[in-house]
Amino acid sequence: MKISGIALPLAISCAMATCAFAQNGEDRFIDDLMSKMTLEEKIGQLNLLPSGTIQTGLGQNSGVAETIRKGELGAILSLKGASSIREVQKIAVEQTRLGIPLLFGMDVIHGYETIFPLPIAMSCSWDLEGIENAASISAAEASTDGISWVYSPMVDVAPDARWGRISEGNGEDPFLSGEIASAMVRGYQGDGTYPKGKVMACLKHYALYGAGESGLDYNTVDMSHARMLNQFMLPYRKAVEAGVGSVMTSFNLVDGVPATGSDWLVDHLLREMWKFGGFVVTDYGSIGEMVNHGIGEIQDVAVQALKAGTDMDMCAEAYVKTLKKSLEEGKITEQDIDKACRRVLKAKYRLGLFDDPYKFCREDDFKTEVYSDKNRQSARKMASESMVLLKNDNILPLEKKGAIALIGPLADTPYIIGTWAVTANYKRGYSTLKEGFERALKGKAELLYAQGCNICSDAALQEAGAFYRAMPRGDDEALLKEALEVASRADVIVCAMGEEQEMSGESSSRASLEPFDVQARLLRELKALGKPIVLLNFSGRPTVLTWESENIPAIMQVWFGGSECADAVCDVLFGDSVPCGKLTASFPRTTGQEPLYYNHLPTGRPLPEGEKSFTKFKTNYLDVRNDPLYCFGYGLSYTTFGYSDLTLSSSQMSKDGSIKAEITVTNTGNRDAWEVAQLYIHDIYASISRPVKELKGFQRIYLKAGESRRISFEVTPDMLSFYNNKEEKVLESGDFEIMVGPDSRDSSLRKAVLTLE
Ligand code: BGC
Cβ(156) to ligand 1 under 6 A?
Answer: no
Ligand 1 center to 282 CA (angstroms): 9
Residue range 298-319: average pLDDT?
98
Cβ(685) to ligand 1 under 6 A?
Answer: no
The reply to whether 634 falls in a domain is: no
Strand residues in 155-276 grouped as ranges (E): 200-206, 246-249, 253-254, 257-258
Cβ(151) to ligand 1 under 6 A?
Answer: yes
d(CA 165, CA 119): 10
Q: What is the DSSP letter of 747?
A: G
pLDDT band at residue 551, thresholds of 50, 70 and 90? Answer: very high
Give kind and range of the element (H or E) at residue 521. helix 517-527
What is the position in ligand 1's atom list of the atom closest to the CA of 202? 10
335 & 412 share domain: no
Q: Which residues contact 364 (CB under 8 A, 6 or more apart)?
A: none
To test the ligand 1 pocket, which listed residue (284, 286, 314) has its Cβ within 8 A of the most ligand atoms? 284
What is the position in ligand 1's atom list of the atom closest to the CA of 420? 9
Q: What is the DSSP letter of 273?
A: I
Residue range 598-609: average pLDDT?
96
d(CA 45, CA 342): 9
Give 216-236 pLDDT, tens digit per residue.
999 999 999 999 999 999 999
Give 310-321 pLDDT, tens digit per residue.
999 999 999 999
Give 237-250 pLDDT, tens digit per residue.
999 999 999 999 99
Q: Which residues contact 230 (CB under 8 A, 6 or more apart)?
A: 174, 691, 722, 723
| Predicted TM-score of the model (pTM) | 0.96
Strands 47-50 and 313-314: parallel
Sheet containing strand 734-741, edge to edge, reads: 652-653, 750-756, 734-741, 673-683, 694-703
Give 408-427 pLDDT, tens digit per residue.
999 999 999 999 999 999 99
Residue range 565-573: average pLDDT?
98
Cβ atoms of residues 448 and 485 within 8 Å: no
d(CA 185, CA 175): 16
Question: Is the pLDDT reported for residue 372 higher than 60?
Answer: yes
Question: Is the pLDDT reported for residue 12 higher than 60?
Answer: no
Taking alpha carbons only, the member of 582, 577, 583 closest to residue 638 is: 577
506 & 398 share domain: yes
Strand residues in 51-110 grouped as ranges (E): 75-77, 103-106
State the residue range of the domain holding 451.
383-587
The reply to whether 32 falls in a domain is: yes
Please classify residue 336 by burial: count the beta carbons closer than 10 Å to its beta carbon, then call 0-12 exposed, 13-18 middle and 19+ buried.
middle
Sheet containing strand 641-648, edge to edge, reads: 641-648, 659-667, 708-715
pLDDT band at residue 5, thresholds of 50, 70 and 90? Answer: very low
Cβ(289) to ligand 1 under 6 A?
Answer: no
- 491 classed as catalytic: no
Give 13-30 pLDDT, tens digit per residue.
433 444 445 568 999 999
Please classify residue 372 by burial: count the beta carbons closer than 10 Å to its beta carbon, then call 0-12 exposed, 13-18 middle and 19+ buried.
middle
> One of 283, 311, 412, 627 is an active-site residue; which one?
283
The reply to whether 114 falls in a domain is: no
What per-residue confidence (pLDDT) applies to 406? 98
What per-residue confidence (pLDDT) applies to 172? 98
What is the position in ligand 1's atom list of the atom closest to the CA of 151? 10
User: In the chain, what is the straight-line distance between the N-terminal and C-terminal CA atoms, in Å?
Assistant: 11
The reply to whether 192 falls in a domain is: no
431 & 501 share domain: yes
Ligand 1 center to 380 CA (angstroms): 27
536 & 392 share domain: yes
The reply to whether 619 falls in a domain is: no
Residue range 41-56: average pLDDT?
87
What per-residue confidence (pLDDT) applies to 600? 98
Question: Is the pLDDT reported for residue 336 higher than 60?
Answer: yes
Q: What is the DSSP letter of 124?
A: T
Other CB atoms within a 10 A radius of the CB of residue 141 amount to 25
411 & 510 share domain: yes
What per-residue confidence (pLDDT) applies to 24? 86
562 & 710 share domain: no
The reply to whether 314 falls in a domain is: no
Q: What angle do CA 303, 306, 310 make, to 5 degrees?
A: 145
411 & 508 share domain: yes
Please classify residue 356 by burial: count the beta carbons closer than 10 Å to its beta carbon, then call 0-12 exposed, 13-18 middle and 19+ buried.
exposed
Give 102-158 pLDDT, tens digit per residue.
999 999 999 999 999 999 999 999 999 999 999 999 999 999 999 999 999 999 999
Q: What is the CATH number of the domain that holds 576?
A: 3.40.50.1700
Residue range 26-49: average pLDDT?
98
Q: What is the DSSP letter of 101?
A: P
Strands 246-249 and 253-254: unpaired
350 & 414 share domain: no
583 & 672 share domain: no
Cβ atoms of residues 419 and 502 within 8 Å: yes
Cβ atoms of residues 210 and 120 within 8 Å: no
What is the position in ligand 1's atom list of the atom closest to the CA of 205? 9
Q: What is the DSSP letter of 89?
A: H
**Could you say which of 587, 618, 653 is where a domain stops?**
587
In angstroms, how far is CA 735 from the centroid of its own chain?
34
Residue range 507-536: average pLDDT?
98
d(CA 244, CA 252): 22
**With pLDDT > 70 as the criterion, what percentage of the chain qualifies?**
96
pLDDT band at residue 282, thresholds of 50, 70 and 90? Answer: very high
Ligand 1 center to 155 CA (angstroms): 13
d(CA 343, CA 609): 50
What per-residue confidence (pLDDT) applies to 56? 57
d(CA 497, CA 557): 10
Ligand 1 center to 151 CA (angstroms): 8
pLDDT band at residue 468, thresholds of 50, 70 and 90? Answer: confident
Q: What is the CATH number of the domain that holds 721?
A: 2.60.40.10
Cβ atoms of residues 549 and 555 within 8 Å: yes
Alpha carbon nearest to ligand 1 atom 4, residue: 284
Question: Is the pLDDT reported for residue 9 higher than 50?
Answer: no
Please classify residue 279 by burial: count the beta carbons closer than 10 Å to its beta carbon, then call 0-12 exposed, 13-18 middle and 19+ buried.
buried
d(CA 543, CA 589): 9
Ligand 1 center to 288 CA (angstroms): 14
Computed on alpha carbons and rounded to an integer, the radius of gyration of the chain in Å comes to 26
Cβ(560) to ligand 1 under 6 A?
Answer: no
Strands 652-653 and 750-756: parallel
Alpha helices for 275-372 (secondary structure H): 286-292, 298-308, 318-328, 334-351, 363-369
Question: Is the pLDDT reported for residue 11 higher than 70?
Answer: no
What per-residue confidence (pLDDT) applies to 13? 41
d(CA 393, CA 404): 18
343 & 486 share domain: no
In this structure, is the dihedral angle defined by the CA atoms of residues 327, 328, 330 and 331, taken in order, positive or negative? negative
Alpha helices for 80-203 (secondary structure H): 82-94, 119-123, 128-142, 174-189
The reply to whether 93 falls in a domain is: yes
Residue range 533-552: average pLDDT?
98
Please count the structural domains in the chain.
3
Ligand 1 center to 127 CA (angstroms): 26
Cβ(284) to ligand 1 under 6 A?
Answer: yes
651 & 721 share domain: yes
647 & 720 share domain: yes
The reply to whether 480 falls in a domain is: yes
Average pLDDT, the chain: 95
Give 55-95 pLDDT, tens digit per residue.
655 667 677 899 999 999 999 999 999 999 999 999 999 99
Please classify residue 670 by burial: count the beta carbons closer than 10 Å to its beta carbon, then call 0-12 exposed, 13-18 middle and 19+ buried.
exposed
